[in-house]
Structure 1
């Protein structure tokens, strides 16, 4: 039994998700205490509870403390099990964060799986589906991991009502083809595009954001699109894609009640500028997501911006199960080399 302090580091839901996944994969029971202690609403919220329940279902495990608001739980996993899985968050909680819990587990199953999750597809506190589909999963494909994800319905905060569907093939079995990963250079710039999505909002919101993006980045009209999508409630997000020969970076900025369209666009502009100026191939958000699959596979190394608290916390949780396998070293201003030792 491993005991995890859920208040350490960034003190959020990522500690729960990584702990559940590693417990299921290694067959190690885990107790997580002080869950989300550093959040305004500590304890398990809807999306965290569904992630706990999903981890238990896909591993045939048992869990104590799986209830809304719970600040401690104990998880006894069995074995990753392939299947056609459906999970309903029942709120605008993030579908992608629930997926990040079960994805590594199902990669260790003996057969392929499909996972359908209903809830929020675009939530300001989580990576959007486009990040997983166009940045994270294509990078994992390079180390022998085969998974796809698509939006079936858009769901924004607070209405929810969205859905995603994922297909996952096993990657870490006896016939695994996992190879060491290396991403040290972006390669040649190939394309850059941004898309402003709105649902149940006036068209001028998208137009103002698009205009502010083009002005702030000096991008052409053909590089910024506007699109209205169907959803149960109002919603707005900017998705920008920076495509290089070796990696695609996906940047997002979310509209909120009483936040000006120009402010949303400026948030996207600042993220894009920082990434381009740093010159590294791996953005802040992709960096912490890569640790777990690399640690479970053949390892590897990549260059990124200064490690975030999410990254350092994730590395600390991984260390409790697999040992000190993640290191990072500063190479220059906003240029760090992260090395992960595989199993």
Structure 2
């Protein structure tokens, strides 16, 4: 039984999700105390409970403590089972975090899986659909597996109601790590605004402000395809496609922020990344650390990537991964980029 302190490091839900994913992937039981102790509302919220239930379902796990508000969990998995699954969050909680939980073990299953996910698709503090589709999924394919994502309906806070379909195909020859030291030349960049249920001028102002700051032309500024009845909601996205990797950055509208403030916040994030020499940004680094760890474990070979910032979130994630897998992470900081190396222990 692996015992974890949920208050370690950044003390958030990523500790829970990574632990569940790797417990199922490795077959090792896990007990977690002080779940989300670093948050204003500690314990399991609806979206975290949905992650627990989804992990249990794909593995036939025995679970204790799977209740709203619980700060303790005992999870004993069975073998991972590929199949067709429906996972729903009866709120605007992020269903993309549920995908993040079940994807790693399903990548190691003996057959493809198809998932129907419902809940929030574009949530603050969670990877939005377009980030996973454009930035994350190509890296899964680079490991030798496949992840195909289809957005059926957007879901924003507080209404939720989004729908996503995911097809997960394990690697026929096993996961293989890779090196991603540079992002290469910029091939294209564009911004799009999702603002269903809001006045049209919101999207126009956000896109015009971002376009002016970035020097982007009208054809690079797009209004998203979200239908009016999928709101109200507001997400401003910028996609940068490079030779080696694609990055997606998102800013979410709030009642306390003007359209111009939302755009300027995203511009700041874009410029920080562009001014670095790294292959990926801080959020993609978080996701890539787990993928590379799995591949290093399964293949017996190491992998490397560079990122613009190593957050406490990423450091905590690496520490949790090391508790489950016989791998070790080495992080070195240099001007312009940090290098993250993972190798078999």
TM-score, normalised on structure 1? 0.96
Matched residue, 1:144: 144
Deviation, 1:25, is 1.0
Give the equivalent residue in structure 1 for 2:262.
Answer: 264
1:324, CA displacement in angstroms? Answer: 5.1
Displacement after TM superposition at 1:125 (Å): 1.3
Distance 2:58 2:175 in 1: 22
Moved more, 323-332 or 274-283: 323-332
Runs of 4+ in 1 over 4 A off after TM superposition: none
Q: Does 1:329 align with 2:344?
A: no
1:135-284 residue pairs with structure 2 within 5 A?
Answer: 135-171=135-171, 175-227=172-224, 229-230=226-227, 231-284=229-282
Alignment-derived partner of residue 96 in structure 1: 96
In 1, distance between residues paired with 2:170 and 2:334?
36
Give 1:212 deviation, angstroms.
Answer: 0.7
**Counterpart in 1 of 2:18?**
18
Distance 1:323 1:101 in 2: 20
**Map of 2:113 onto structure 1:** 113
- Which position in structure 2 is the counterpart of 1:36? 36
> What residue number does 2:306 align with?
303
Name the SS for the 1:275 alignment partner: helix
Q: How many residues align?
A: 339
| Counterpart secondary structure, 1:39 | coil
Residues 132-152 of structure 1 deviation map (CA, whole Å, 9 limit, x = unaligned): 111111012112021111211
2 CA distance for matches of 1:30 and 1:177? 25
Residues of 2 paired with 1:143 and 1:96: CA distance? 20
Q: Distance in 2 between matches of 1:163 and 1:289?
A: 22
Is the 1:158–1:233 contact (alpha carbons within 8 Å) kept by the matching residues of 2?
Answer: no
Comparing 291-300 and 66-75, the one that deviates more: 291-300
Tell me the SS of whatever aligns to 1:194: strand
Distance (Å, rounded) in 1 between the aligned partners of 2:156 and 2:81: 31
- Mark the CA change 1:129 to 1:342 in structure 2 (over 3 Å): closer, same or farther: farther
Residue 198 of structure 2 contacts residue 231 of structure 2 at CA under 8 Å; is this kept in 1? no
Deviations 1:83-102 (A, max 9, x none): 10001110100111110000
Secondary structure of the corresponding residue to residue 275 of structure 2 = helix
| Range moving further from structure 2, 318-327 or 207-216 | 318-327
CA distance in 2, matches of 1:208, 1:228: 17
**Distance of 2:266 and 2:32 partners within structure 1:** 35
Of residues 309, 319, 324 in structure 2, which corresponds to 1:316? 319
Secondary structure, counterpart of 1:311 in structure 2: helix
Structure 1 gaps, min length 5: none
> Retained in 1: the 8 A contact 2:144–2:175?
yes
Measured in 1, the distance between the counterparts of 2:344 and 2:107 equals 15
3-state SS in 2 of match to 1:157 = coil
TM-superposed deviation, 1:232: 4.0
**What's the TM-score, normalizing by structure 2?**
0.95
